[in-house]
Amino acid sequence: MKKNSIYVFLTIFAGALFGLTGLTPAFILSGSALSLLVVNSSMGIIFPVVGISLVFSVMGGLSSFVLFLLSGILPGLFLGHCYKKKEALPVLVTTASACHITGWVSLYFMYKSTQGSSLFEDIAKQFVISANTAMDQMVKNAGIPDAQKLISPLKESIETTGEYFKILVPAFIIILSACAGLLTVMLSKKKAGYNVTPFSEIYIPTSMSFICLVFCIAGFIVKDVNTLGFIANIIVIAFSYFVLCGVSACDYFLKKKIASDYFRIFILIAGLFILSLFFSGIIFSVLLLLGMTDASFDLRKLRRKAPKGE
C-alpha cells in the first residue's frame, strides 16, 4: 500500500509538473509511476489517479492535456499491461515509444489547425532568427570592423541547419520518442519485478551495419529530393542507434570497474555532457564509430553469449 501511494503521488505530480512548466521529463515520470501502479493495483485506484493527473495537466491548456494523455498516461497503462504479460524488451520500448510518437504527431496537427502553420517549420525559423540575433548582438558588443563579412558564412550555415531540421523532423520525433520510451522502461522495470536486458548489453545485429552502408551509398546515387529526404531520415535514425549502442558499450566496460548502477550512470551523463560542451562533434563521432565497431566485430562478445535462435 505504501508503494502504491508513492506511485499515485508521482503520477499526479507529473501531471501538475507538465501543466505548470511544460517539462517533457514529466512524461517519463508519469509513464514509469503509472506502469508500476497498474502492476500493483486494481483499476479502481488507477482511474481516479489518471483523472486527477489529467485535470492538473489542463493548467497548460488543451495541447498540454492531449500531449500528457498520449505521451504520459498511455505509455504507463500499456507498459503496465506488458509487464503483466512478461513481454520482451523490444515490445516494451516499442509500445512506450509509439505512444510518444502519437503524442507529438497529435500536437503537430493541433498546432497546424490553430496557428495555420507547421510547428516544426516555425521552430526552425525561430532557431535561425534567435541565432542570427545573438550573433549580431555579440558582434556589435565586440566592436569588430567588417564583422558582418566575417560571420556571413556562419549565418549561411545556420540557415542550412534550419533547412536540415525541417527535412529531418520525422527522424528527430522517432529518436526522441525512442529515448523517452527506453528511459520509461529502464526506470520502472526493476520495481515491476521484470528482468530485461541491461542497458550495458544492448547491441545491434551485424546486418544493421551493412544496411546502413547501403543507405549511405544510395544517398550519393539518388537525385530525387523527396527520396533523399527519406534516406537522410533513415541514416540519422540508424546513426543515433549506433551512438546509443556506443554509450551502451561504454557502460559495459565501465561496469567492470564501477559496480553501482547509479554512480556509473552519473559518471556517464556528467562525462558526456561536459565533453560535449567542448568536443561535441568528436564525441558523437567516437560513439558512432564505437557502436559501428561493436556491431561489426562484437567487441563485448554479447552475440556469442546469446542462446541460439535469439
Through-space distance between the first and last CA atoms of the chain, rounded to whole angstroms: 38
Cβ(186)–Cβ(78) below 8 Å: no
Burial (CB count <10 Å: 0-12, 13-18, 19+), residue 37: buried
pLDDT one-digit tens code per residue, 147-186: 666 677 777 777 877 777 778 888 888 888 988 888 888 8
Least confident piece of the model among 57-61, 177-181, 188-192, 268-272: 188-192
Task: Identify the band that residue 13 occupies on the pLDDT scale cut at 50, 70 and 90.
Answer: very high
Other CB atoms within a 10 A radius of the CB of residue 127 amount to 14
pLDDT one-digit tens code per residue, 236-248: 888 888 998 899 9
pLDDT at 2 over 70: no
Task: Give residues with Cβ within 8 angstroms of 20, minimum separation 6.
Answer: 59, 60
- Which among 182-191, 261-270, 282-291 has the top mean pLDDT? 282-291
Helix 169-188 crosses helix 225-255 at what angle (to 10 degrees)? 30
The answer, as to whether pTM is greater than 0.85, is no
Q: Hey, what's the cell of 169?
A: 523532423
pLDDT at 111 over 50: yes
Other CB atoms within a 10 A radius of the CB of residue 141 amount to 8
In the prediction, which pLDDT does 204 show? 79
In the prediction, which pLDDT does 49 show? 93
Burial (CB count <10 Å: 0-12, 13-18, 19+), residue 260: exposed
pLDDT one-digit tens code per residue, 122-137: 888 887 888 778 777 7
Taken in order 73, 76, 82, 85, the sign of the CA dihedral is: negative
In the prediction, which pLDDT does 309 show? 42
In the prediction, which pLDDT does 16 show? 93
Q: Hey, what's the cell of 58?
A: 489542463
Q: Hey, what's the cell of 257?
A: 570497474
Q: Output the CA torsion 139→141→143→144 (10° steps).
A: -20
d(CA 186, CA 190): 8
Name the nearest CA neighbour of 97 among 86, 89, 109: 89
pLDDT at 260 over 70: yes
d(CA 246, CA 231): 22
d(CA 22, CA 258): 35
